[in-house]
Amino acid sequence: MEQATKEIANSLHVNNLSTILVNVPYRQPGNVVKHIPVVFTVWKNGNYFKAFALCNEETQRILNLPDALPFQLKHGKPTPSRQAHERIVWEIAEELIKINVIN
């Protein structure tokens, strides 16, 4: 299975860049903000990126996370497809820059 996944990724010119840990905020009753650490695996296809949350469905539901967070780099800045996840995308991009995966 792993070999097949690699072959598919190679044929699509998709690259797994890194795995990133992000503390994702969410609101509780009373407007209290808490954070849940979530690991994301980040894939790149050309100038397009997708970050996939590696968490269970309950955590994904609590955090209102989609299956993937797509974004692009425009003029060196991450541009998410949805503004609701802008902070998470920025943190992922900052970490990728910090570890010299993207510049």
pLDDT tens-place string over residues 51-66: 999 999 999 999 999 9
SS3 label, residue 63: helix
**For residue 5, what are the CA distances in angstroms to 11, 14, 43?**
10, 11, 13
Instruction: Quote the pLDDT of residue 55.
Output: 94
Residue 6 lies in a domain: no
43 assigned to some structural domain:
yes
Q: pLDDT of 37-49, one tens digit each?
A: 999 999 988 888 9
* Any domain includes 46: yes
Whole domain around residue 61: which residue ranges?
A: 14-98
With respect to residue 39, please indicate whether it lies within any of the assigned structural domains. Answer: yes
pTM: 0.79
The residue ranges of the chain whose pLDDT is under 50 are 11
Please give the tally of structural domains in the chain.
1
Is residue 92 in some structural domain? yes
How much is the pLDDT for 80?
84
What tokens were used for 51? 């970050």
Q: Is residue 4 part of a domain?
A: no
Backbone angles phi, psi at 77, to 5 degrees: -120, 140
Q: Is residue 38 part of a domain?
A: yes
